[in-house]
Structure 1
Amino acid sequence: MIQAFDTIVVGAGMVGAALALGLGQQGFNVALVDRASPREFQPGAAPDIRVSALSAGSERYLASLGAWPGILAMRATPYQRLAVWDEASSPLRRLLPSRLTEVEFDARRLGASHLGHIVENSITQRALWQAAEAEPGVTLITGHSVRDLSQDHRGARVTLDDDRTLEAQLVVGADGAQSRIRELAGIGVTRDQYQQQAMVISVRYRGAVEDITWQGFYPTGPRAFLPLRPAGDAYPGECWGSLVWYDQPERLAQLKAMNNADLIAELHRQFPERLPELTHIDAKASFPIARQHARHYSQERVVLVGDAAHTINPLAGQGVNLGFQDAQCLQQLLVEARAEQQDIAGLALRQAYEQRRRPANQRMMLAMDLFYHLFSNRIPPLHLARNLGLGAARALPFARNQVARYAMGLDEQLPAPIQGILNRLPRLGGL
């Protein structure tokens, strides 16, 4: 038996679930396929180790889907400020006062109530699933993976691992960096593996919930703090937080091998002084980081979104925000194509999607690469250049705030001078 749909979305993570929900709300008949389901929400549980900084633009999108109230009803921590500074030691550092090499972005100066929210990935996914389950146009198919894909001028067919066949005009690959749909569609990627890895540590700290997230840049990579929620009645005066430490794999392996008491002591030695007093480590994990970009975002009746299309250095936590922008763009194009009675997998639609999303994703990927190469070294001229750059950002609040508004999703375009600089830079690694 063949089940027929308008669209099949493979991958029910945050981006795939958002797209399926949005299409279902617009009258599409959508199948949402994933091997697993998000775990049930437990109010008193420790936070998940994977969290994201959702931008104001992503919040608006999730609110339009009806999922944002569900996220707030579970757990989300707003932050009003973001600080970045250079922690590398160098003889050149004395050429600039330390206060000039720290930049702070403040929501109040941007005309906003907050810069974004720190949210556990599982909570964002759970809220989207809850909304999708209530949407008649969305059929959730869980516990099964895709075994095969075929497509022709009439439509696409997906065969699951239980031999079921699903048929649709369009298949969306939202199944992550190791996308099975991308592989079956024959879409290649360019990939560059960074030397560093990222270690994420869920901690409790003494003090109130902080309204700032910050990153100190070291030659081995940044070290970041993300505030989370109060730890509850069982731990009065304490809050949860998430720490991120970028470094060589060997160094992170040493850290992971430490017992919690020794690791807390090492964190206080190696993180900036502003790190609050840590009282407990709940979980820790490390993962490799890479920049990866699909050579094409579509092939016949397959379109890619989110990590299936692109992964970036998680330096500023922009990966999921870019994915939501992909989903929102594709949803809009599909609604317009259907209203005009066009093929929703037609060449014109797929070209329009690529033309809108590839340049925007390239800009963010290039910006993160520039940060990575500029800050992750001990070369004195580059050390001076980055400090001068931070000092200039501090001295030019208008340009700084315009960039921040773009990153938050409040403005759709970068300031013209900055966009011009990015346009003149060579593309890295086949971007």
Structure 2
Amino acid sequence: MTQAFDIVVVGAGMVGAALATGLGQAGFSVALVDRAPPPVFDPQASPDIRVSALSAGSERYLASLGAWNSILGMRATPYRRLAVWDDTRHPLQNIVPRKLTEVEFDATQLGAPHLGHIVENSVTQQALWQAAEAEPQVSLIHGLGVSSLTQSGNEVTVRLDDGRELTAALVVGADGARSRVRELAGIGTSRNQYSQQAMVISLRYQGPVEDITWQGFHPSGPRAFLPLHSAGPDHPGESWASLVWYDSPDELARLKALGEDALMAEIQSAFPACLPPLSHIDARASFPIARQHARHYFAGRVVLAGDSAHTINPLAGQGVNLGFQDAQALQAMLREARRAGDDLASSHWLDQYEHQRRPANRRMMLTMDLFYHLFSNQVPPVHLLRNLGLGAARALPFARNRVARYAMGIDEELPAMVKQITARIPGLNQL
């Protein structure tokens, strides 16, 4: 059995589901394919251990797809402040007191109601699946993977695990860092595995829902706090949060093996004093982190978006926001291709997509790498340099806030001076 579509999107995670919905709303016939069953939201269940910090720009995009109100109707926690500081213990701290190098971004100073929302990935995905299901131009095919992909002169054929075949003018690989579509298209990657891993911990704490997310930097890696929602009437006076602890694989393996009380004691002593008192650990998981970039974003009638094209160090939680930016850019290019009467796989338009997104993704990769190496270093001059940098950010609120507005998706463009600086950074074009 063969079905014909304009576009086949493989991967119905957050980015793939958003892209398929947007393309369907633009009038393209789309097949959205994923191995996983449809996500299910249970309002009584503990929060998903996987959460994302959705920027204001991502919120606007999700609203345009009809998914944002559904997310708010399930669970989403706004944060209005974001704080970063260096928590390295070193004699040079006597020269630069820590208080002078704490940098806090406040939504009120940026002229915004909030900086973003912390949302469980399963909530975002469910809202996007609902939006896709409501779109007549989108056909969801779940429980099946891609077994082969064949490109011919004017179409590409995707063969599914059950033998079904889908034909289209274009296939979008949005199937994650280990993309099967990228592999079948013969697109290679460059990859850098970090020595650290990240442990994510879902827990309850005593106190109201916080409006701040923070990150303290240690030589072994950052430790972050992301607020979630109230724990409800079953746990009065308590709230949910997600913690992220970066450290060596051996140390995280030791921590994961601890009982609940022992792990809570370790967290309470290792995290900054501003961490509220903990009451219960619900789930924990660790994963390796790596920077990966596809050598090309398209090959013939296959184009990549999201983690299939790039993964970055998750220090600032920008991965899914970059993926949503890919989706918006690709949608725009495909609309232009159709308006011009061109083939959807025309290299003219796919080149423009890559030329727009690759530098932006590289810039974020490089920024996260600079943070990783700068803050995972106890060499005294480097320690002093990063503290002076944080101090400068504190002392120059106008410049700091202009960059923050861009990072949060409030402004569409980086300040011109910052663009000029990043354009001159050695190695940017090699990522």
Task: Map Cα deviations across residues 267-324 of structure 1 (whole Å, 9 max, x no partner).
Answer: 0100000000100000000000000000000000000000000000000000000000
Task: Map Cα deviations across residues 41-74 of structure 1 (whole Å, 9 max, x no partner).
Answer: 1011100000000000000000000000000000
2:43 aligned partner, one-letter code: P
1:330 aligned partner, one-letter code: L
* Cα distance in 2 for residues equivalent to 1:339 and 1:65: 21
* Cα distance in 2 for residues equivalent to 1:276 and 1:428: 40
* Cα distance in 1 for residues equivalent to 2:188 and 2:41: 37
Partner of 2:160: 160
Partner of 2:341: 341
Q: Is the 8 A contact 2:86 2:102 kept in 1?
A: yes
Partner of 1:399: 399
Matches within 5 A, 1:300-315: 300-315=300-315
Partner of 1:183: 183
* Cα distance in 1 for residues equivalent to 2:318 and 2:111: 21
Task: Map Cα deviations across residues 75-105 of structure 1 (whole Å, 9 max, x no partner).
Answer: 0000000000000011111111221110000
Question: Does 2:132 match 1:132?
Answer: yes
* Cα distance in 1 for residues equivalent to 2:98 and 2:415: 27
* Cα distance in 1 for residues equivalent to 2:332 and 2:429: 31
Q: CA deviation at 1:429?
A: 9.6
Partner of 2:350: 350
Q: CA deviation at 1:426?
A: 1.7
Partner of 1:291: 291
Question: Does 2:70 match 1:70?
Answer: yes
Partner of 2:115: 115
Question: Does 2:140 match 1:147?
Answer: no
* Cα distance in 2 for residues equivalent to 1:185 and 1:20: 20
> For 2:109, what is the secondary structure of its paired residue?
helix
Structure 2 gaps of 5+ residues are none
* Cα distance in 2 for residues equivalent to 1:380 and 1:151: 56
* Cα distance in 2 for residues equivalent to 1:247 and 1:306: 26
Matches within 5 A, 1:15-414: 15-414=15-414
* Cα distance in 1 for residues equivalent to 2:20 and 2:308: 16
* Cα distance in 2 for residues equivalent to 1:46 and 1:255: 21
* Cα distance in 2 for residues equivalent to 1:243 and 1:348: 44
Q: CA deviation at 1:134?
A: 1.1
* Cα distance in 1 for residues equivalent to 2:98 and 2:383: 13
> For 2:222, what is the secondary structure of its paired residue?
strand
Q: Is the 8 A contact 1:190 1:430 kept in 2?
A: no
1:103 aligned partner, one-letter code: V
Q: Is the 8 A contact 2:39 2:125 kept in 1?
A: no
* Cα distance in 2 for residues equivalent to 1:164 and 1:155: 16
> For 1:208, what is the secondary structure of its paired residue?
coil
TM-score, scaled relative to structure 2? 0.99
2:190 aligned partner, one-letter code: T
> For 2:285, what is the secondary structure of its paired residue?
strand
Structure 1 gaps of 5+ residues are none
1:381 aligned partner, one-letter code: P
Q: Is the 8 A contact 1:85 1:217 kept in 2?
A: yes
* Cα distance in 1 for residues equivalent to 2:428 and 2:414: 20
* Cα distance in 2 for residues equivalent to 1:161 and 1:224: 41
Q: Is the 8 A contact 1:190 1:429 kept in 2?
A: no
Q: Is the 8 A contact 1:29 1:138 kept in 2?
A: yes
Q: Is the 8 A contact 1:21 1:65 kept in 2?
A: yes
Q: Is the 8 A contact 1:148 1:160 kept in 2?
A: yes
Of 336-345 and 269-278, the range deviating more from structure 2 = 336-345
Q: Is the 8 A contact 1:78 1:211 kept in 2?
A: yes
> For 2:94, what is the secondary structure of its paired residue?
helix
**How many percent identity over aligned positions?**
70
Q: CA deviation at 1:413?
A: 2.1
Q: CA deviation at 1:430?
A: 3.5
1:47 aligned partner, one-letter code: P
* Cα distance in 1 for residues equivalent to 2:138 and 2:295: 30
Q: Is the 8 A contact 2:363 2:428 kept in 1?
A: no
* Cα distance in 1 for residues equivalent to 2:41 and 2:266: 32
Q: CA deviation at 1:132?
A: 0.7
* Cα distance in 2 for residues equivalent to 1:168 and 1:233: 51
Q: Is the 8 A contact 2:79 2:115 kept in 1?
A: yes
Task: Map Cα deviations across residues 206-247 of structure 1 (whole Å, 9 max, x no partner).
Answer: 000000000000000000000000001100000000000000
Of 419-428 and 221-230, the range deviating more from structure 2 = 419-428
Query: In structure 2, do the counterparts of structure 1 residues 38 and 247 end up closer, same or farther at CA, with 3 Å as the change threshold?
Result: farther
* Cα distance in 2 for residues equivalent to 1:139 and 1:24: 9
> For 1:221, what is the secondary structure of its paired residue?
coil
> For 1:336, what is the secondary structure of its paired residue?
helix
* Cα distance in 1 for residues equivalent to 2:3 and 2:51: 35
Q: Is the 8 A contact 1:192 1:429 kept in 2?
A: no
Task: Map Cα deviations across residues 354-385 of structure 1 (whole Å, 9 max, x no partner).
Answer: 01000110111110000000001111111000
